[in-house]
Amino acid sequence: MSAKLDGKTALVTGGSTGIGLAAAQRLVEEGAFVFITGRRPAELEKAKAQIGRNVATVQGDIADLDDLDRLYQTVKAEKGQLDIVVANAGIVEVKPTDQATPEHFDKIFNVNARGTYFTVQKALPLMGKGGSIVLVSSGMSVKGFPGYGAYAATKAAMRSYARTWAAELKGRGIRVNVVSPGVIETPIMDSQFASEAELAAGLDLFKSIIPMGRLGRPEEMASAIYYLASDESSYTTGFDLVADGGVVEI
């Protein structure tokens, strides 16, 4: 029995760790050839070795439009087309509004909102009928948490982008959907806390408000991404699949 993504070419931005790495692994398991991007060459090489086959790495920052152009030049030269784009790359930096600086705001928006926008725009010439775009948002896009003002706003942008792009691209046969994870066990969690004690307290707080009583796993987010990326969701576009243990929906 052939895998469901045989012959497909996919891109996963931020594919060297966490949700992005798990998504890339799942897409390869399902038969796709996957390009992964990231800013850190060493992490990319580790991810490539972990995935093991049908994967190529392109180092770069989605906030740098020259890096994006180089990425798509590589994809075009090596594969000629793209069937799946998983726009996962993003950063988190916690700042209460009264402490936030313009530099903090611009940093978050340049990567998460602007970078994602041009990641998709520049992918479109390589995509055709049957293409699927999956944007990785967050449950914080609809629920308020102190300190995450800029970050949450960029994730709300993902939801808005999906509505617009789903409408714009329907005539080309390209679907656009969103995955909104909750709190997931990934390395990005460590960067949000100043010490191990703060991290432990923060995780305990998150668990206390998650109806399922635990953090999510990257592999669970990869399953949600695979569903939206594949023909399993062939009649779905403009949709936000919330995978957060029940925080937003209950």
226 domain-assigned = yes
**Pairing label, strands 33-38, 84-87:** unpaired
Q: What is the pLDDT of residue 200?
A: 79
Catalytic residue among 72, 117, 148, 151: 151
Q: What is the pLDDT of residue 1?
A: 45
The string of pLDDT tens digits covering residues 23-78 is: 999 999 999 999 999 999 999 999 999 999 999 999 999 999 999 999 999 999 99
- Is the pLDDT at 188 greater than 90, yes or no? no
- Is the pLDDT at 109 greater than 90, yes or no? yes
The string of pLDDT tens digits covering residues 147-157 is: 999 999 999 99
37 domain-assigned = yes
| CATH number of the domain bearing residue 131 | 3.40.50.720
Q: What is the pLDDT of residue 62?
A: 98
Q: What is the pLDDT of residue 207?
A: 87
Whether 151 is a known active-site residue: answer yes
Q: What is the pTM of this model?
A: 0.94
153 domain-assigned = yes
CA atoms of 47 and 50, how far apart (whole Å): 5
CA atoms of 196 and 96, how far apart (whole Å): 20
If you write DSSP's letter for every residue of 60-102 in order, what string do you get? --TT-HHHHHHHHHHHHHHTS--SEEEE---------GGG--H
38 domain-assigned = yes
200 domain-assigned = no
Residue percentage of the chain with pLDDT more than 70: 96
Structure tokens that stand for 175 in this block: 């679907």
228 domain-assigned = yes
Boundaries of domain holding 156:
9-184+218-243
205 domain-assigned = no
The string of pLDDT tens digits covering residues 112-144 is: 999 999 999 999 999 999 999 999 999 999 988
Alpha helices in the chain (DSSP H): 18-29, 41-51, 65-78, 102-108, 116-123, 149-169, 196-209, 218-229
168 domain-assigned = yes
How many domains are there within the chain? Answer: 1
CA atoms of 196 and 194, how far apart (whole Å): 7
In the block, which residue shows the tokens 């798509």?
Answer: 72
- Is the pLDDT at 195 greater than 90, yes or no? no
